[in-house]
A and B are shown apart, each in its own frame.
Chain A
Amino acid sequence: MKRRVARRLGIAPRRVVYALLGIGVLGVAGFMISQALNTALVYFILPNEYAQEPAQYENRRIRLGGLVAPESVAFNDQDLQLTFLVTDGIQSYRVEHVGAPPELFRENAGVVIEGSFDADVFVSDKLLIKHSEVYEAPEDGHIDIEELRRSLQ
């Protein structure tokens, strides 16, 4: 049977077996990679996911991802204390971060912060930006730095 299929295709039967085995192995490997990445590589959790099971993350360093809530940003340039609310639209938490805000940090920007919860305040020592995949030119062709600065006051 195998031989007949192979003869009709004009190739050696062993190669057909190897090819099928190879495809099978690749399929299994792919499935395993996707499973591993899905469970182990959830890069950050959302505020509402934390709110559901805070005990699970107690005394653990975690990454929290969300948007910077509008009108919640305060930055003290003397001691570099940056505070803001991170939100996923369902739940929001107050974030305390020491360090200057990154260039793309602003209201409604996506952020990922690393640190741990102290009661209901997230104390962060690493602030990363997760920007969207939307790229567009500013309307008047240049960027108003002053406006950006004001949005951070």
Chain B
Amino acid sequence: MMDASVRLRRPAWLRAWGVALVPLFLTAAYLGLVWSPQDVNQGNLIRIMYAHVSVAWIGFVAVGLTALFGALYLWRGKRRDDVLAVASGEMALLFSALTIIGGMTYSRPTLNTFWTWDAKLTLTALMVALLVGYFIVRALIDDPVRRGRVSAVVAIIVAASLPFNYLAAEWFRTLHPSRAIALDGSGVTMAPEMLFTLLFNTVVAGLVYAWFMVDRARLGRIEAQLEAERAERELASVPSGGVVRV
């Protein structure tokens, strides 16, 4: 029996948010593909940057939030936190994979290669591999509590690589260009229209991430409830007097 507290329908506000994403996405694409000026060196190739960098940033945020919810699960043991961690983790894997695909697309015409093993690219490849590992680990463990704990540790390890990845081009010699925007506000080496286009694209990418994450968490809560009910049914079906090992 489904608990009445779990609603199966996507709530109206979530549907409205999803619909609003369509014009926002189209506006972001227009800004990047048409409105933004060409770059003095790269010409029209700069337009790929808006998709690559915005997706990469949100991928980092997604990895960070996966680890944060994982840490919360380790701390308080609430199933809700594990559900949020998975929802964010799936988007983290998707956005990291898109970062690599977009990066290769951007890199071939500008840097003259699809791929090279410099520090930044290597760390990003490692991040994708570890995120795949996160889901392999989850699939291998049946006990929900152990599954949540082990995968949370994996998520925290992935997140530990984020600062190295983010600052790789400053800390190590890489082929990948350095950051054009310093988060401490010390400098932006990007034309104002380009900066606006990039930030707009990043906000939209963030809203896309958040929408899928919220909706996936909604499904995750239903899944968790079904899993708990199935476990209860199995317990009830054991003949009285039998020993149950859980």
Determine if B189 is an interface residue (Cβ-Cβ < 8 Å): yes
Query: Would B160 and A26 count as touching, CB distance under 8 A?
Result: yes
Q: Which of B37, B41, B113, B178 lies in contact with A104, CB distance below 8 A?
A: B41
Say whether B189 contacts A103, CB under 8 Å: no
Distance of A104 Cα from B39 Cα, bound (Å): 11
Chain A residues lying within 8 Å of B180, measured Cβ to Cβ, are 133-135
| Interface status of A6 (Cβ within 8 A of chain B) | no
Which residue of B163, B173, B179, B193 is within 8 Å of A133 (Cβ)?
Answer: B179
The CA of A130 and the CA of B172, in the complex, are separated in Å by 14
A134, B46: Cα distance in complex, Å: 11
Q: Contacts A26-B160, A42-B172, A128-B175; is A135 near B46 (CB within 8 Å)?
A: yes
Q: Is the CB of A37 within 8 A of B119?
A: yes
Within the complex, what minimum Cβ distance (angstroms) separates A8 from chain B?
Answer: 16
A30 touching B173 by the CB < 8 A rule? no
A119 at the interface (CB under 8 A from B): no
Q: What band does the interface of chain A fall in when counting residues whose beta carbon is under 8 Å from B?
A: 35 or more
Q: Least Cβ distance of A13 to chain B in Å? A: 14
Whether B128 sits at the interface, judged by CB under 8 Å, is no
B141 adjacent to chain A (CB < 8 Å)? no
Q: B43 contacts A143, CB within 8 Å? A: yes
Q: Are A34 and B164 in contact (CB under 8 A)?
A: yes
Task: Give the contacting residue for A43; candidates B40, B153, B174, B194; CB below 8 A.
Answer: B174
Q: Is residue A127 contacting chain B, with contact meaning CB distance below 8 A?
A: yes
Using known A-B contacts A26-B156, A128-B175, determine if residue A135 contacts B116 with beta carbons closer than 8 Å.
no
- In the complex, are the beta carbons of A41 and B119 less than 8 A apart? yes
- A126 contacts across to B, CB distance below 8 A: 113
Tell me how far the C-beta of A20 lies from the nearest C-beta in chain B, rounded to whole angstroms. Answer: 13
CB within 8 Å for A22 and B41 given contacts A128-B111, A135-B190: no
- Residues in A with CB closer than 8 Å to B156 are 22, 26
Residue of A18, A102, A109 ringed by the most chain B CB atoms within 10 A:
A102
Q: Please, which residue of chain A has its CB at the minimum distance from the CB of B193?
A: A137
Complex CA–CA separation, A105 to B45 (angstroms):
14
Q: Indicate if A65 sits at the interface (CB-CB under 8 A).
A: yes
Contacts of A34 in B (CB 8 A): 164, 171
Partner of B40, one of A103, A105, A133, A136: A136
| B38 and A142 contact, CB distance less than 8 A | yes
Contact status B110-A104, CB under 8 Å = yes
User: Interface code B143-186, partner A: CB below 8 Å = 1, 0 otherwise?
Assistant: 00000000001001100110110001101111101111000000
Which 7 residue pairs of A and B lie closest in terms of their CB atoms, listed nearest first? A137-B37, A102-B112, A133-B178, A133-B180, A43-B118, A134-B189, A135-B190
- Please list 7 pairs of residues, one from A and one from B, whose beta carbons are closer than 8 Å in the complex, sorted by A's number: A26-B157, A30-B163, A33-B161, A38-B171, A43-B173, A135-B46, A143-B40
Residue ranges of B at the interface with A (Cβ–Cβ < 8 Å): 37-43, 45-46, 49, 74-75, 109-113, 116-119, 122-123, 153, 156-157, 160-161, 163-164, 168-169, 171-175, 177-180, 189-191, 193-194
Apart from A26-B157, A128-B112, A135-B180, what are 17 other A-B pairs with CB-CB below 8 Å? Answer: A11-B75, A33-B161, A37-B171, A38-B172, A41-B118, A41-B119, A42-B172, A43-B175, A102-B112, A130-B175, A133-B177, A134-B190, A137-B193, A138-B38, A138-B40, A141-B37, A142-B38
